[in-house]
Each structure stands twice: as C-alpha cells, then as structure tokens.
Amino acid sequence: MRDIIALLQRDDLSGVILVGHSYAGMIITGVAERARDRIAHLVYVDAFVLEHGRSALDILPESTRNAFRKLAEEGGGLRMQPNDHLLDLWGLEEDSARAFIQKRLADFTIRCFSQPVEARSHAAHKLPVRTSRA
C-alpha cells in the first residue's frame, strides 16, 4: 500500500482507477482508505473485499487456512514458500500452466493474510466500485 500511495503522491495522480485481483483487493481497499481523494474507481476482480477489522484468513475456507498456516510453519513461521500444494489449491492441473506460474511465484508473509484490513472510514464504499468474479 505504501508504494502505491507514494506513487500517487509523488506523481500527483488523481482520477485513478485501481484494479485489484485476489489478494490485491485488500490492497486497493487500504489505498482507498488513505488516498480516497486521488481515486476515481475501484475494480475488484475475483478479489478479497473485506470489511474493517477482517482478514483474508477470516473468510477463507478452513482447508485453505490450514494449508496457508502449514506453508508458514515450513517457512519458519513467517513466510509461505510457494509449492505444488498451493498450485493445487488454485486448481492448476496442466503441467505447462503449473510450470509457467511456478517460475513467477514469490514467497509471501503469513501476515498478508492474517492482518486485518484498516478501513474505518469505509472509503471504498464511497467510491464507484466494479466487481468481477471468474
């Protein structure tokens, strides 16, 4: 969020359309909370849309929560290293698709999923929003 907000401020951007897919839905919600005057629209594409104080782990199915926690344990309690099980969770079956994605994955901190969204002013609710679900 800090990087996006810094970019908006540094380049004096306004009327911006922020698009968030999956995890990035939480990011654009947080950016809207902190830089609402610079945002024209929010677009959530098959994304997490959370209320203030909720985290992704709060709404994910128990099997996914457990898988993420296991990945974090394997990463020393903090980091989730991408592995084949994660690709299974995403429903990737074709070998070429798995290879393509695996090369581009980076590890994630568990806090990305466990830290609640800060959206006290509900700024995202005050902006035009578009949603799309695959």
Give the tens place of pLDDT for each residue, 3-13: 999 999 999 99
Whole-number Å distance between alpha carbons of 58 and 61: 9
Question: Residue 66 corresponds to which tokens in the numbers above?
Answer: 């457990």
Give mean pLDDT, residues 91-107.
86
Name residue 115's beta-bridge partners. Answer: none
Q: What is the chain's alpha carbon radius of gyration, rounded to the nearest angstrom? A: 16
Cα separation, 57 vs 132, whole angstroms: 21
Tell me: pLDDT of 76 over 90: no
Average pLDDT over residues 91-108: 86
How far apart CA 123 and CA 54 sit, in angstroms, is: 15
Structure tokens at 71: 């990945």
What average pLDDT does range 44-57 have in this prediction? 88
* pLDDT band at residue 78 under the 50/70/90 scheme: low
| Alpha carbon distance 64, 58 (integer Å) | 11
How many residues in the chain? 134
* Contacts (Cβ under 8 Å, ≥6 apart) of 125: none
Chain mean pLDDT for the chain: 86
Task: Determine the Cα angle at 26 with ends 21 and 28, to 5°.
Answer: 75
Among 5-19, 29-43, 54-68, 107-121, the least confident range: 107-121
